[in-house]
Structure 1
Amino acid sequence: MRAFAELLDRLALTGSRNAKLVLLRDYLRATPDPDRGWALAALTSELVFNEAKPAMIRRAVEARVDPVLFGWSYDYVGDLAETVALIWPGDPNHRPNREPELGEVVDALKSAKRGEVQGLIEGWLDALQPKGRWALLKLVTGAMRVGLSAQLARTAVAMMRPETVTEAPEPGGGEATTALEPLTAADIVEVWHAVEPPYAELFAWVEGRGERPDTEAPGRFRQVMLAVAIDEAVDFEKLDPADYAAEWKWDGIRVQAVREQGVARLYSRHGDEITGAFPDLMNALTFEGAIDGELLVIRDGAVAQFGDLQQRLNRKTVDAKLMAAWPAGLYAYDLLAEGGVDLRGLPLKDRRARLEAVVKGHEGERLYLSPVVEFDSWEGLGVLRADPPVGAAAEGLMLKRWDSPYVAGRPKGPWFKWKRDPHVVDCVLMYAQRGHGKRSSFYSDYTFGVWTAEGALTPVGKAYFGFTDEELKQLDKFVRDHTVERFGPVRSVRAERDFGLVLEIAFEGLQRSPRHKSGVAMRFPRVSRIRWDKPAREANTLEDVMDLLDAIESGGGRVAK
């Protein structure tokens, strides 16, 4: 566990993307099987211990530490694993003579019954130092939060590839050295669903010791093609509108639906399987192939807001009531394979013609064709982008070259995304909380509100990015200088009609939310500007926000098959 704990600690405290990649690459190179495979599985959320629950950890620590002291400590630190790792007293009557290995922990947890898990965890906590305890508890609960996505982890695996591999000498001959082709994250994603933790077969191929895992199994994931953000001031001068197709960028999540030889699977754009959360959709699809599209909630042919789709996301299973209330549909963008034939090398124009035929011949109401937007100039398309006829259902436009093949990754030129300008509201800072990792010393998570008709503030969102490091220091100082109350790790900041800090908040959308006091929730809020110059009384009101929500909801458009 020691090497794994050191890796997690350094990842959590490292802000640089490239530095994180090097840290993980070096760990994977230096750590033997199966420990490195289990570490990779944990970092990519492929390792889940269903019998281990956070409540077990709380019971264990409260049996050894005064519960009130633990509660205060937990409130201050704000992280269960970190709190327990620091406060755990150990058992003086049980002093293990060695620390457990990562593979040993995983094997024990995978075979343990629920009643045995707490005892195992307590024994390991006794054997480990604080850093190791923290890593253990992160592993058990699955809450890594070390700033490393699954895609970044797969990139580090690709970086393990050596330039050459030395083969065993033939009898009577010398050693032979063979050059190896470099790998990319796309190469790893292509084989990801053909391998299982602890990934011995994957590592053997990456290191040149084995064959590439078989990826031709039915239902496999294909690495998606992504777009780059368009630079309006530069790109439009170089692009010919006749060369590009325009589509709406629907406000759902990008998915890949695959049905091959009786195998039906739904993947996120990063290759994570989400079939279990959308059985109604997958059972309704009848095509044979792989479709790239947008997952949406669709009622009576109308695309619902993203907030409706959120009711279905991040679930392992769903019941009939949930499926009836939030019916899932697929808006098709591209056809990657059909009848066992890979179509990704064909130009978009040909793939589009085949896709239209597939959707037209499909039975049922779960599969729709994303329509092409007719335009003859970038200026005319810009008018449609600013006020789309489909309203809030679209968050912008996609521009795709008609002659482009479907290429994994994010190539510059074939595809562009042209998002709509975000909504902006002036809010007043109300609460602040300490951040994590390198921000743990700063109050960097901000809750903000708007004025009600009674002259009080009501929270409408929370943001923790959009500002520079220098602005973070200024915000942190404001919070410390103007704190009026403390609630564990949270500080209440002075916010009155005649005194308060106004934050200009940009966000992608609004939705009604009975769980929130204000009745609304923001999608992707971030601080776009600190309005040091604006009096708090001039911030927006809840009435302003509700008027904006009404305008957004009235703009929903209908879709046609």
Structure 2
Amino acid sequence: MSQSLRRCRNCAKPCSGLLVSYQLSLALSGRPSHMDRSSPDFIKPMLAESGEAFDSDKHLFEIKWDGIRAMAYVEQGVYRLMSRRGVDVTERYPEFEPLRSLPSGCVLDGEIVVLDADGKPSFRSVLSRAQARTKLRFRHLSQATAADFIAFDLLYLDYNELIRKPLRDRRESMLERIAPKLGEHMAVSDGVIGPGRSFFDESLARDLEGIVAKRLNSRYFPGKRSDAWIKVRKSSSALCAILGFVDKGDDFESLIIATEDDGELHCVGRVGTGFDAALREPLNDLLRDGRCDAPLVPCDEKGTWVMPGLYCVVRYLECTRDGIFREPVFEKLITD
């Protein structure tokens, strides 16, 4: 092997034999060649558990960006953007073209957001970007309502896996190797260590969604929900009338609910989470015993309607412009 290397160094023309010999030696030694290395096709993003605000010098507290989760994969000057569910969304965001200049073999976890005139993430705007379907529309929206990619974790660098390393080390690598190379419409998420409660209060004062607390010594858990990450979000609660339910045979799938606004009852959508096993059976009986032909108030939802008299308390993130509760969670049942 060494003789082959010496001959090639002294040769005036490129020697393909050198490349073959080099790759063969790597294969025999068990070391991967650069050409054999590649980024993972897809990594399921790590998920956070819900909790309350707290202080800790063992946690990093970051803003919870109100957008769409995405992973950026960069390899040999080519980049891919993958959604949380593994859908390739690269073409939808041409403004992220500078990602191709990042180090080859890196994988970033982050959030795609669209900022409003006040610099706050607008979920409605980012949703309109995600729902675009044509290349012409992608290009138009990238100029009319440009998105930003906020990176908050680094899972691979130079084709080396960082998933098992602690968050503290992953962030250090991201700040040193990735942050200086990010272009327009891209940034690394900032945060604080220690005062989580005041950081959360400040996020509410700025009308942001909330914060995420991340344990500094924790590894990354692909596709798993872990208490190493805790999301703390603003929320509101409302007393709701149960208009009906979506039936799935011997159980209900969700409740169709309405709440009062300016003295009138309006349908605010459906709630399908927050029910414990002990409640489902008696609630099913109440729903089925109270069935009727029409809802108490006009409603665009499709379902089985019930007579007035059933109420519940629902926690939700916000009420959309269309008057629908976003991310509703059932809290308790109230009956007349």
- The whole-number CA distance in structure 2 between the counterparts of 1:494 and 1:509 is 27
Q: Is residue 336 of structure 2 the alignment partner of residue 528 of structure 1?
A: no
- List runs of 5+ in structure 1 lacking aligned partners: 1-213, 514-519, 534-561
Q: Note if contact 1:277-1:317 (Cα within 8 Å) is conserved in structure 2.
A: no
Q: What's the RMSD between the two structures over aligned residues?
A: 3.6
> 1:339: how far off?
4.3
Query: Residue type of the partner of 1:476?
Result: N
Structure-2 residue corresponding to 1:508: 317
Q: Note if contact 1:248-1:373 (Cα within 8 Å) is conserved in structure 2.
A: no
Q: Is residue 143 of structure 2 the alignment partner of residue 352 of structure 1?
A: no
Structure-2 residue corresponding to 1:85: none
- The whole-number CA distance in structure 2 between the counterparts of 1:404 and 1:452 is 45
Between 261-270 and 333-342, report the one with greater CA deviation. 333-342
Q: Secondary structure at the match of 1:349?
A: helix
Q: Is residue 83 of structure 2 the alignment partner of residue 275 of structure 1?
A: no
Q: Note if contact 2:213-2:231 (Cα within 8 Å) is conserved in structure 1.
A: yes
Structure-2 residue corresponding to 1:181: none
Query: Residue type of the partner of 2:327?
Result: F
> 1:230: how far off?
5.8
Structure-1 residue corresponding to 2:285: 477
- The whole-number CA distance in structure 2 between the counterparts of 1:247 and 1:216 is 33
Q: Note if contact 1:311-1:326 (Cα within 8 Å) is conserved in structure 2.
A: no
Q: Note if contact 1:296-1:303 (Cα within 8 Å) is conserved in structure 2.
A: no
1:473/1:280 CA distance change after superposition, 3 Å: same
> 1:503: how far off?
1.3
TM-score, L = length of structure 1? 0.45
Structure-2 residue corresponding to 1:367: 186
CA deviation profile, 1:243-296 (whole Å, cap 9, x unmatched): 3322223222332111211321112345x0332463324324232332111222
Q: Is residue 75 of structure 2 the alignment partner of residue 260 of structure 1?
A: yes
Higher share of residues assigned strand: 2
Q: Note if contact 1:486-1:492 (Cα within 8 Å) is conserved in structure 2.
A: yes
**1:52-67 matches, cutoff 5 A:** none
Q: Note if contact 1:291-1:337 (Cα within 8 Å) is conserved in structure 2.
A: yes
Structure-1 residue corresponding to 2:255: 446
Structure-2 residue corresponding to 1:327: 146
1:223/1:463 CA distance change after superposition, 3 Å: closer
1:231/1:382 CA distance change after superposition, 3 Å: closer
TM-score, L = length of structure 2? 0.71
> 1:424: how far off?
0.8
Structure-2 residue corresponding to 1:178: none
Identity of counterpart residues, as a percentage? 23
1:325/1:292 CA distance change after superposition, 3 Å: same
**1:334-483 matches, cutoff 5 A:** 334-344=153-163, 346-358=165-177, 360-362=179-181, 364-375=183-194, 380-388=195-203, 391-401=206-216, 403-406=217-220, 408=222, 410=224, 415-420=228-233, 422-435=235-248, 440-453=249-262, 455-483=263-291
Higher share of residues assigned helix: 1
Q: Note if contact 2:245-2:304 (Cα within 8 Å) is conserved in structure 1.
A: yes
Structure-2 residue corresponding to 1:250: 65
1:465/1:408 CA distance change after superposition, 3 Å: closer
- List runs of 5+ in structure 2 lacking aligned partners: 1-34, 296-300
1:263/1:502 CA distance change after superposition, 3 Å: same
- The whole-number CA distance in structure 1 between the counterparts of 2:117 and 2:285 is 52
1:442/1:345 CA distance change after superposition, 3 Å: closer
Structure-2 residue corresponding to 1:293: 110
Q: Secondary structure at the match of 1:250?
A: coil
Work out the number of aligned pairs and report it: 292
Query: Residue type of the partner of 2:110?
Result: G
